[in-house]
Every structure is written in structure tokens, then in C-alpha cells.
Structure 1
Amino acid sequence: MFAVVKIAGQQFKVQAGQSLYVPHLQGKSGDKVEFSDVLLTDDNGTLSTGSDVKAKVTAEILADLVQGDKVIAFKMKRRKGYRKKKGHRTHYTQIKIESIA
């Protein structure tokens, strides 16, 4: 059984027991979170979408703050002495899907 869930504005295809990184969620490691915005479910070949979906996905937070790779934004204008270097690291949360019910 799998489901497509909307988490923080992004869609993820999840299965029970799967571990994945999602955009940063509030909570500490060990907390349980529930996602009720399920877009699609597949139960042994029977698909349900839209308003037919009555499932909820529960997950446990494994790591509350994981930083992604550094992304560099470098701007330069040649022969003018203009250089700007900015960077950022996106924050993620690692969760483990416990059940789709």
C-alpha cells in the first residue's frame, strides 16, 4: 500500500516503514506527526483519489533538524570590481512513516 501525501506544499509518495527527508517541521525527535492531506492511495491495485480518500498517514520524527548541501549564489560584473557571494543551507526533517490508515 502506498499513498501520495502533501507535506509543507510538496507531494511525496510514501509507504509504511519508509524513511524520508521533508521540509522542516515543528517538533522534536521522537514526536509523532499526522498528515491528513492525502491525495491518492493504492490498496492492492484499487486507487482512490480526491474526496474518496479517507486515509491518514502517521509518522515519527527521527531527526528534527538536518541541513542540506550548501547552495552558492555568486554574482559578478566583469571589469567593474563587483562580486557578491551568498550561500544557504536548506533545513530538513527526517521522518519515518509508521502507518497509512
Structure 2
Amino acid sequence: MLAVIKVAGQQYKVEKDQTLYVPRVEGKAGDTLNLEVLLADAGGSVSVGSAVSAKVTAEILDQVKGDTVIAYKQKRRKGFHKKKGHRTAYTKIKVTNIA
């Protein structure tokens, strides 16, 4: 079974037992999430939009940070430069059930 879910404004195509990184979702490791389903495909029968009766549950595995992204600004011939960086927060989830 296949489903398209929406998490924090982004869409993901998921299957059962798949792990993926999504933007930070509140919760601790071991908590269960009920995710919004946009499309469900059950062996050839596809339901879209408000006709979707599928439910996707996922388990939070960990709260992690991504790689460092450097933002570097410079003005030539002025001696001005500024270097900043940030690490985006992600949640690692595992899809446990698509019903």
C-alpha cells in the first residue's frame, strides 16, 4: 500500500516500514503521530482528496539536526565579510501502519 502524506507543509510518498526525515515535529522518541493523508493507493484502487479514508501512523525515532549550512556575505574592496551558519532541525520518523 502506498500513501502521500503532508507534514509541515511538505508532501512525502511513503510505504509501510519506511523511515524518513521530516521538518521538526513536536514530540519525544517513541511517540506516535497520526499524519494527514492526501492520496492512498491500495493495489490499484486510488482515492484522492476528501474521499481518502486511509490513516497513516508513524513513530518518532529521534530528533536530529541536519548538516551545517553556511551563509557568507562579502562586499568587495570594502573589507566587509560576515559568516553565519545554521543547522536545520529534523525529526526521524518510521511509518508503522497504513490502514
Q: TM-score w.r.t. structure 2 length?
A: 0.96
Deviation digits for residues 41-92 of structure 1 (CA, Å, limit 9, x no counterpart) = 10001111011101111011111x2110110110101110110111100000
Which segments of 5 or more consecutive residues in structure 2 lack a partner in the other structure? none
Deviation digits for residues 20-57 of structure 1 (CA, Å, limit 9, x no counterpart) = 1111111110111111x211010001111011101111
Q: Is 1:70 the counterpart of 2:68 in the alignment?
A: yes
Percent of aligned pairs with the same amino acid: 62
Which segments of 5 or more consecutive residues in structure 1 lack a partner in the other structure? none
**CA distance in 1: counterparts of 2:17 and 2:40, whole angstroms:** 16
Q: TM-score w.r.t. structure 1 length?
A: 0.94
Ranges of 4+ aligned residues in structure 1 off by more than 4 Å: none
In structure 2, the residue matched to 1:89 is: 87
In structure 1, the residue matched to 2:78 is: 80
Alignment of 1:1-101 (within 5 A): 1-35=1-35, 37-63=36-62, 65-101=63-99
